[in-house]
Amino acid sequence: MKMTLAEIATAVGATNDVTKWADTVVTSVAFDTRELESGALFVPLAGMRDGHEFLAQARTNGAVAAFWKRDRSDTPTDFPVLVVDDPLVALQDLSRHYLRKINPKVVAVTGSNGKTTTKDMVAAILASRFNVTKTKDNFNNEIGVPITILAMESNTEMLVVEMGMDRPGQLTFLSQLTAPDIAVITMIGEAHIEFFGTRDKIADAKMEIIQSLKADGTFIYDGDEPLLTVRAQTVDQQQVTFGQQADNDLYAHEVQSTKTTTSFKTNLWGDLTFKLPMPGDYNVDNALAALAVGHVLAIAPEAAATALWNMDLTKNRTEWVTGSAGEQILSDVYNSNPTAVKEVMKAFSTAATTGQRAVVLGDMLELGVAADSLHAELADCFDPALVSRVYLVGEHMKALYDALEVKYDSTDLFHYAQDEQSALIAQLKQDIKSGDLLLIKGSHGIHLENVLTALTA
């Protein structure tokens, strides 16, 4: 990114005169003063504290300009500010302007599960031929998507944007902001069901991603999901389906999974084997979605296969790490929902080991009134012959604890409140030995990354 303050002022409709600083060059944008670089535009957002309070720190950390809310009485006179009605709206307007200026093709990815992994896969495949920018970490909402757009280099040809949602209308806005050339829905699950009530309503909200899909764009979706196939009948744009069933445009066969890898072949590319550096049959669908994107954009399948094997995955998404006791830990501590837990448990429970398998599960959040029952239903995933010990964390995991008491002895089944992680860590350090396998998974709000850090320090 490289824009003068004069260009930015025009793009966002700043109401003050910036002639004095018109030639000031901005090379990045950030709302967190800890992420500022020299040459940055600081965007003061309203959070637990008002971002305007951090202007002095932003200046110290390299900001050369800032947005400033018009209704404040303390507008600086000794520092370049752009006065706007709402700094967040200004950020979004600036990203819209910059997106039109760079004009890459846009691939938008959403889904109840797998969207981050699919985003990484899509970006890896497209990078075999194009200059690609992708969503960093979880920058997938009304703030994160504009930041992702503004992080593009001027030579970006493909922008791969992850889009999250927790309420109706959110994806409509993000679709309008980015006007995708390709829209991908990975799957429909129970994530955020607290806010939507039913999977039908979740599907409706996910379909918002195509609201501003270009007329000559492509809609790629899970063809094994009836909630999507029915809704896709109203979509005029080109469509590509993926899944496990043979009636999809792209489907997998000869799927094989080990503790650390998964391989498969497809109906479109004969004997070519695709190999993923991660376990779990469920990741095959994510890969199929990414391969469908690559196919639409004329990526050679051999190049796509190489890209998938060498891709750069977002941290803490089904990532194997080594613990300090010599155990192997499958870290998936960023997000969790019933579908995701069932899939990862299926893969983990049969992973080869010379020791024992143990599982740490934290609460799955945003499940609403069905939370306890959805947690209890996970009991079907547990076989004491395959998973020796179970450690559960959080209020709703008590329902799973109660359901597992008929399967596990009290010496192998534990439940902790969220604020009892120190006791959990002590128990794990006592129980887990070299050669064991340990799965750690939970919603980010439970902060099981602290447990992971303690076990790998």
Residues 277-308 pLDDT 10s: 988 888 999 999 999 999 999 999 999 999 99
| Average pLDDT in the chain | 95
Label each residue of 332-379 as H, E or C: ECCCCCHHHHHHHHHHHCCCCCCCCEEEEEECCCCCHHHHHHHHHHHH
- Structure tokens that stand for 416 in this block: 């902790």
Q: Could you tell me the fold of the domain covering 319-456?
A: Protein-Tyrosine Phosphatase; Chain A (3.90.190)
pLDDT of residue 260: 87
Element (H, E) at 115: helix 115-126
Element (H, E) at 240: strand 238-243
Residues flagged as binding site? 111-117
pLDDT of residue 314: 75
Q: Could you tell me the fold of the domain covering 104-309?
A: UDP-N-acetylmuramoyl-L-alanine:D-glutamate ligase (3.40.1190)
- Give the whole-angstrom CA distance, residue 183 versus residue 362: 31
pLDDT of residue 366: 83
| Sequence ranges of the chain with CATH classification 3.90.190.20 | 319-456
pLDDT in tens, 356-386: 999 999 999 988 888 999 999 999 999 999 9
Which CATH number among 3.40.50.10190, 3.30.1240.10, 3.30.70.360, 3.40.1390.10 corresponds to the domain 3-85?
3.40.1390.10
Tell me the pLDDT band of 192, cut-offs 50, 70 and 90. low
| Sequence ranges of the chain with CATH classification 3.40.1390.10 | 3-85
Tell which residue, 64, 49, 48, has the closest CA to residue 5.
64
Contact 207, 233 (CB under 8 A): no
Tell me the pLDDT band of 204, cut-offs 50, 70 and 90. very high
* Full-model pTM: 0.88
For 158-172, give the DSSP string: EEEEE---SSTTHHH
Tell which residue, 55, 51, 52, 27, has the closest CA to residue 41.
27
CB atoms < 10 A from the CB of 167, how many?
Answer: 10
pLDDT of residue 63: 97
- Structure tokens that stand for 40 in this block: 């940055």
Beta strands 262-266; 274-276: pairing state: antiparallel
Contact 214, 179 (CB under 8 A): yes
Beta strands 319-322; 328-332: pairing state: antiparallel
Give the three-class secondary structure for 116: helix
- Give the whole-angstrom CA distance, residue 324 versus residue 455: 6
| Sequence ranges of the chain with CATH classification 3.40.1190.10 | 104-309
Tell me the pLDDT band of 138, cut-offs 50, 70 and 90. confident
Q: How many residues does the chain have?
A: 457
- Give the whole-angstrom CA distance, residue 171 versus residue 155: 27
Residues flagged as binding site for ATP? 111-117
- Give the whole-angstrom CA distance, residue 26 versus residue 236: 40
